Amino acid sequence: MKTASASCDAVLAIRIEATLPAPLCFFRLRAPDQAEWLCPNRAVRRGALAELAEQTAGIRSLLIAPGEAIALHQVPLPSRKRSTWARAVPYALEDQVVEDIEALHFALGGIPAGDRLPVAVVNRDVLRGWLDACTQAGLAPAAIIPEPLLLPWQEGDWSILLEERRAVARTGRWDGFAAERDLLELLLNQAMAEAGDAKPRRLRVWGHPPPALTEVGLEPRIEDSAPEPLQVFASAYQSAVTINLLQGPYSPRARWGPRLRPWRAAAALASAWLLIQGFGLAHEHWSLRREQTALQAAMEQVYKDAVPSATRIVNPRVQLETRLRELRPASDSDGAFLELLYQGGQPLASFPDVTLRGFSYRDGQLDLDLGGGNPAVLDQLRRKLDQQVGLRIEMRATQREGQMESKVTLKRTPS
């Protein structure tokens, strides 16, 4: 009973483990080769990127992108066809961005907000710098997510994370920004004025002291006066309401493309060769099957000719061997049956009009049942049989319904 219980517990543990989400590691870049990261055990570490790469081997890592480098927008849905969004969005935002759209990367939200599409905009060189730093350290982030979209949020709330010199704010499901702390009050009051009827009912703050909102009487609610930013981000992470910057030319598949491009020609040739080999093998298999079918039909016909009384044919070769063993007497050690069959069958092959309808062997005597021919042909057959050395022949011929039937008895003459 203990063994069965332990087995059930093991199966249950495996099922529970399979349903658990994969462990994640959240990290931020602090310098070209430095980072801080949150381990799956919720401990925060700081050190070199190479150290982070060693500790997160086999774990999905998510890079938290600084909000100062990213602009969050919402544009009207370009069309109902999702395939056209990536091409249309840059032109829809052309008047709202300062830089040339060719220098910018536009990442789309996975879920439209009503009739509007969330978009995160970042400079291509900045994004490439983050990826190069990770690649040099041996890191391959599974996603790069803007900071503001990792703050806790729910309808009617705004969220603010205060650090020593900077602040991150989330002012909507797809809206937010990051700035120096000295600019936070100004930017919040501006966002409050632009919110109109969508003003928040509550301002949640992680850090101290809270910002002052001079335009409205909104009392901040302190969630944690000394927060650990990475733990706040990880606790609110929901993949469905974030934007992954690794899209288009920066997706994992696209990043592997240049490395695989030199091998495409070889892969194409190998595929063509395998395809040709496959067709060749298929044709050879088909030809062999046809040949096997033809041989099977020929064997069945031989068996029918040798044993006219047979009604069921399964394996003609085995059945004929079995029939021959039954006809061969146990005392016929000198092969008398096969010798008589050969001596009688060799002359018979010269007369195509005469067919062998059956035969029997007993006590050194082989009886052949023949059909067809005419008296002259049968006379010629008898003379050929008489020419066989050591063979005694008896032939009886009758005509029935216009068809000649013959019985030939072959015996060996005493030596």
Same structural domain for residues 197 and 232? yes
* pTM recorded for the entire structure: 0.58
Residues 272, 192, single domain; the answer is no
60, 237 in Cβ contact below 8 A?
no
In a domain, 218, yes or no: yes
Q: Are residues 347 and 407 in the same domain?
A: yes
Report the CATH number at residue 144.
3.30.420.380
415 residues of the chain, pLDDT tens digit each = 444 444 444 433 334 334 445 688 999 998 878 999 998 888 899 999 999 999 888 889 999 999 999 999 999 988 878 888 888 999 999 889 989 999 999 999 988 888 899 999 999 999 999 999 999 999 999 999 999 999 999 999 999 999 999 999 999 999 999 999 999 988 988 888 888 888 898 999 999 877 766 555 677 889 998 899 999 999 999 888 899 999 989 987 755 555 556 666 777 788 888 888 888 888 888 888 888 888 888 777 777 777 777 777 777 777 777 777 666 555 444 467 788 888 777 788 888 888 888 888 887 888 888 888 888 888 888 888 888 878 888 888 888 877 888 898 988 887 6
- Determine the pLDDT at residue 247: 92
**CA 357/CA 370 separation, integer angstroms:** 6
Q: Say whether both 168 and 76 belong to one domain.
A: yes
Assess whether 132 and 215 both reside in one domain. yes
One domain for residues 32 and 76: yes
∠ Cα 18 19 24 (to 5°): 90
Helices (H), 155-263: 181-195, 229-236, 252-260
Range of the domain at 300: 265-305
Say if residues 105 and 144 touch (Cβ distance below 8 Å).
Answer: no
| Chain Cα centroid distance, residue 286 | 28
- On whether both 132 and 243 belong to a single domain, the answer is yes
CA dihedral 291, 297, 301, 306 (to 10 degrees): 80
Q: Do 147 and 232 form a contact (C-beta atoms < 8 A)?
A: no
- Do 299 and 338 lie in one domain? The reply is no
> Order of strands across the sheet with 60-65?
44-48, 34-38, 24-31, 60-65, 143-146
Residue at 169: amino acid letter? A
Query: Domain check: are 293 and 180 in the same one?
Result: no
d(CA 309, CA 154): 90
Burial of 355 (0-12, 13-18, 19+ CB in 10 A): middle
Judge if 93 and 227 occupy the same domain. Answer: yes
Q: In the chain, what's the furthest Cα-to-Cα distance?
A: 137
Q: How many distinct structural domains can be found in the chain?
A: 3
